Structures are given as structure tokens and as C-alpha cells.
Structure 1
Amino acid sequence: MSQRIFEGLKVLDFANNVAGPGAGALLSDYGAEVIKIERPIFGDDTRTWRSGQFDSISWYTWLNRGKKSVTISLTDPDGLAVIKKMAADADVVLQAFRPGVMQRFGLDYESVAKVNSSVVYCSISAYGQTGPKATNPGYDQIAQAYTGLMDMTGQPDGPPTRVSISILDHSTGINAFGSTCAALYHREKTGEGQHIDVSLVGTAFSMIDMFEEIAEATALGISVNAKRVGRFTVSPGAGTYQGRGNQYCEIAANNEKLWLLLCQAMERPDLITDLRSDSELSRMKNAPLLHSIIEDWVASFDDINLAVEKLDKFCVPCAKVNSVGDIVSDEHLLARGAITDIPAPTSMQARGVETIRARGPWHVLSKTPLQMGKAPDLGEHNVEVLTRYGLSAEEIGILQEKWNKSK
């Protein structure tokens, strides 16, 4: 196999929880050496988010795959001195503290850049590094609420609804990864490092549909707001339809060609010429009626998969609404390697658990495919990493004992 894209790149990862660690994990997949700095004793918060199976730390395992764990106390001068040496020769620094925290330690971008001008320094936060709310705390659901994303989600007659997955955490991690790659390319051409400012709120705001339309109406003095649409979508023929046994499928027949194919699949040629459904405008006027007709057709099948198969034959975009339990053994994702087994952490391997079923690479590169390594145990690489910076194994042991007692 050819050399991995970021082989030889050194990343210092101070991030905790989801967004920052996710960015670091992707850099590791591409071959970078990612050194994760963790608190003594406790480590990353996700180490305690346990799933129950094998007492495994599945969140931590996924978000920190392929990294090296080093435990250092930032509040101790001895620990801080070592960290500053590490930052001085890092290619990338990832951090997700609130603005101002790294500055107090002398580890903010300006301080690090004085001794390492080529560093690519990525700061991830809730609201960004500037602005009135910059120092406010925030998490995924807070950013969903603040940016209006939550107001647009849910049933029309229901309350604002949080997207149940940590969509902004994961998306912000991917944004941070992409921005870091762009900055590294700039450095490759110019030798210059730079500071990257990525936020949960910025990620959420970039996703808001209808912003331009609402902004224009507001500028014209028209009172308007985006409405929750629930199961209905802009075009009748596209939406979520319930079948038997509380099963659902999603159909996207949202233009004239697809509406024709849907009518053919349902064996309802009359709907093509019916004045209530012969155009986009007429279908909009009669949306509830048409939704009911399509849903009755879906419910006519004993198994919703049969409805999906019929729609597939006519090339109507559709999918059964799967549960997470369904998708973990999906044949398509398995065939693409999107579901895979990654090495279990060393402590789990000692208990006989060699691999963990996980999401596989979703970036598919023909020449330099991603490789996912195992997540580290807390402090697993203390000696391997810290001896590079002038400490002996004995000195490392003394420092670790001191930091453990101080907690």
C-alpha cells in the first residue's frame, strides 16, 4: 500500500467529547500521529459514556480510534512545560476549550505560533472565538435551539424538536477536519500556519434552509417564519408513508417525471390526468388527499419491503425507514465497508475481545484508503511519547503519581 496521506504529520489533540475528537480521528484515519492529551485519572468525558456491552466505551472507542493517549495535568507547571515542548513541534493543534482557556495556559494560537509559526491551530467551540456569545458554554442541542434548527424540526402541531443524533457535533468535526486539510494545503504551498475557528453554531447556521427567503421577506417588512412540516414535504408524492405493522417508507417523487413513475408503480394511471394531480400546482392544492392515496397503497402490502421493491422497479427514489437496529447489519453498507470491525482497545483485547463492530470509512479513496486503528487506553502511550521530550520513564512515573494524587 502507498504511503498514507498524512503519514509523518503530528497532531496534538486537546479536544474532549465529540466534535474535536471526531476531527482528530479522521486525521488519524489518513495516517497522522494523533497524540491525545487527557486529564489524569478521568480522561475524556466519553470514557464514562458506557454502552453496557462488555462494559465497553463505545463513544470513546469510535471518536478516538487510532490515537495515542498521554495523561498530563495542564494545571501543574511541570505538565505545562512538557505540553509547551510538544506544541512547539506539532503540525496541528486541535482544541475545544471555551475561548480564553488556552490563553490562560499560554497555549493559545498566538503563543504557540511564536515558537511554531507553521502550526495549523484549530479551535472548536459552541459560538466561535469572537462575538458577544463567544465565551458562553454550549452543546449540540444548544446550537440547534439557538440557530432555529430545532424550531424547524418536528410535527406542525408539536413543540420544537431536537434532532436526536448529535448532528452538529459530528458535522462540526467534519468541518474542522476539512478546514484543517485546507490549511495544511496552504502551508504546503507557502510554509505558513494559521488559526482555524470552527463552531457548532456556525455549522448549524450553514444548514438552515429557507434563510434567504425569510431574510428577504423580513427586509421587506413581511412577518414570516419557517414552519415545521413534519411528515409532509414541499411536493405531494414526496414524504413519509406508513405501512402495516408501524413500518414506514420515504418516497421522493417530487417532480413531474418521478410523479409519473410513482403513478405507474401504484398502477394508478388515472392520477396522471386527474385534475387534482395533473400538475405540481394541483398536487399542492390537494396534498392531504394524495398523501392518503399513496399511504393506502403502501399499506396494501403485508411487508413494506414489498412496496419498496415495487417502487425500485420503477426507479422511484425510496427507502424503508430503518431503525438503527436494522442498519447495523445492512448488506449494502457491509458490502461497501461502511460497517466494519476495528481493533479493540488493548485492555479489552486482554479480556478476549479482539475487535469492535463500528462504522467504517465513509471517504472512499482509490489510492490511499483510510485505515482505522484502535482507541488507546488512558495514558497508554505516556512513556512512548513523553520520553521524546527529555523525560525518563522514572520521571514520567513520578509525575503521573503526583498528578493522580492531586485529583
Structure 2
Amino acid sequence: MKYMMTYDMMESMRNTNQWMGATARAFASYPLMAMTANPAMDWLRAWGEVTERTFERMVVKPDWNIPALPNTDGTDMVVTTEVVMKRPFGDLIRFRVGNRPDRTRRVLLVAPMSGHYATLVRKTVVSLLPDCDVFVTDWHNARDIPVSAGKFDIEDSTLYLVDFMRELGSDIHVIAVCQPAPLTLAAVAYLAEEDPSAQPRSMTLIGGPIDPDANPTDVTDFGHSVSMGQLEELMIQRVGFKYKGVGRRVYPGLLQLTSFISMNSELHGKAFRDQIIATAKGEASDHDKHNEFYDEYLAVMDMPAEFYLSTVERVFKNRDIARNDFTVAGRKVDIGKITTVAVKIVEGEKDDISAPGQCLAALDLLTGLPDDKKFAHLEPGAGHYGIFAGGKWRKNIRPLVLEFIDANAGSAPSKPKSNPAKVA
């Protein structure tokens, strides 16, 4: 029961703030208040509207909302999601574009499990869909997973990726964004030794901490400054009684969000003040830049405690993957066994989360891969988010990634395994 009360207290505080915002908005919008001009009511309504939306979105998984794509005949092709493989801690989903024939480029986009939902890579999906068949790892919120489903650590996550790649066939091209880059590298190395025919054609690693010590940041410094006992004591709680995962040990999303915001508290504070002013003036809208960004940024998910703790201990502290000493299910994974999968590294010059050099370290580990299958790109002026979404991704990085995929497509792609897809 330890920390269950703390978990429920955080949820109660969130719920109370949402209620206060809704109450203020409703009170200030009461028709009687419009009888006389009262600017205070406009400000109260604006504060209530922004506050209610802010705290409400913290517990809601954002929709993918992928826009329709134009067909050759001028009609729109609706984009839907299908579950290709369903697992307790995450599904493999596919974005199907109307009745469009399958694309020759088949991409598995490995989304981060780092506090936000897989919808964090929504803009990446939107940019790839016109040219590719896109599959995504859709991780589940740990608070909704019953304790009976068991544990989920970085070894389990690696084996999930192995199973997803096997399901999709060897003509797949893998793109891993940020946090899962080390585990994706390990999964391909696992396949290289255990099931070579299931290896992907290419692997693109974007801004991931393959070797966190190659160029330390505040994130890596924090990992070294605290002990595992301190992390477990301070960060880990048990899911409260409101959710299906009651009793499961997690790193709560609300606690993660507090850390995210504290890193740039002044910037976020100014953004919300400006939004309240814009709302009071009638200049805000449901889909303005503020709401588009914070609808995603504030939507957080609980992370399984064993996944968070094993990531800190084995990826950041012990550097198991950087030292090529990572084990999965008792078997040592040798990254040097990768000999045929082309690898491209993408980093951002101004990335302050996974700094330049951390992801590039993967190429030194690929001792069995010929140099003509190793590639790297450093995007000038790009921060962490900019290397997989935004203008720099669309204009500069995406074309390079598609060119890389085409160059390593092979001549005889295998067909995907048949699997009755379910509509998500």
C-alpha cells in the first residue's frame, strides 16, 4: 500500500484544479454576468477555461488525428489505425490510407516510452505517410495495465521490438526516435544472431542515448548524481484505486510532468499567462499553437517502475549497451553481429537531451558492419524535437532518410505476414 495514498493525492490535486477551472469558467459565463461590462469576469472566464483544459488533458491520451491524404482522382483517402499485434504493454499499429495500394517503403517507427504517448511522433507519421506504409509502437499507460500482466523492463521492451520486426518481415525499415534507440539497436543485434532472416533492411537512429557519457547533458548528469535507492524512494509509487493497474509500481506521469515543467518553468509560465490574455481578448482558439503544443506536452502516461529503473541503471549508469555488454533473457547481445543492416545516425546540433555524439557512438559498436553501410547526419541548429518533427525534419532530414531507405531497399522485398488486423 506504500505510496498508493501519494498517487491518489496527486490525482485528487489534478482533479480539483480541473474542477476549479470549470467552476470559474461556468460562473463567469453565467448570463447574468453579461448585464454590465465587467472585465474581471472576462479574466475569470479566461483563467477558468485555460486551467480546466490544462489539467483535463493530463489524463487523456491524445487522438492521432491524421489528416486525410489526397488521391490521384482528387478525392480524399481517410487514414485509419489497425492493430497488427496486440500485447499487454504496447501494440504494433498500422496506419492504413484508404484503399491505397501498399507502398514499397515499409517503415516501423519506434516511438519513445519516456512519459508521453506514442502520439508524440504524430507529425513524423504525417510526414512519412504520403511515401510509406507506416507502423508504430503504441505503448500503453502502465496505470491501465493490471498487475496480473507481469513486469515490463528494458529486456521485455527489446523482446517486444524483436517480435514486432519478425511480424513485419525482413523488408521493413526501422526508425527509432530518442529513448528507444539503444533498445532498437540491441533488438536488431539480437535478431542478427538468433534469426538473421528477420533483420530489417535498414535502421535509422534519431537522437538516442547509445552512449550517454559521450557528451553529457543535464539528463545524464542527473542519472549519475542519484543512487538507484534514491530514485526508487523518490520517484516510484503504486497506482491508486481509480485505475485498472491498481497496485502496480510506476513512475507516475504527473510526477514526470512536474520534472518536465520545472526544467523550463519560466518559459511555461509565460506561455500560460499569454494564453490567458489571448483567451480574455477572444484571440485564442481550440487549434492555436499553444493548444496544439500543450495538448500533446501535458498528456503524460505512467511508466512501469521496472522499465524506468532498469533504463537509468543499465543504459545511463552502467552503460551496458555503450560497453556492448547488454543481456536479454540471459543471452549476451553482441552488436558486432550486425553485418548486413545499413545504419544511419541523425543528431541535432543543439540537442540538449541527447547531445551530439551520444547516438553517433553506435557506429563504433558496429564492428562487423562495413563502412559503406554506416551513415551519419548532424542537423545544424536543430534541437531535440526538431530532428523528428518540424521544419528541419520535413525539409532536410526526412528527404535524407527516404533516400537512405531507397538505397537499401534491396531487389526482392518479402511480403508481410498475413494477420487479420483489428480496428483500433
- Higher RCO (CA 8 Å, separation ≥ 6 residues): 2
TM-score class, shorter = under 0.3
Structure-1-length-normalised TM-score = 0.25
Please identify the structure whose Cα radius of gyration is greater: 1
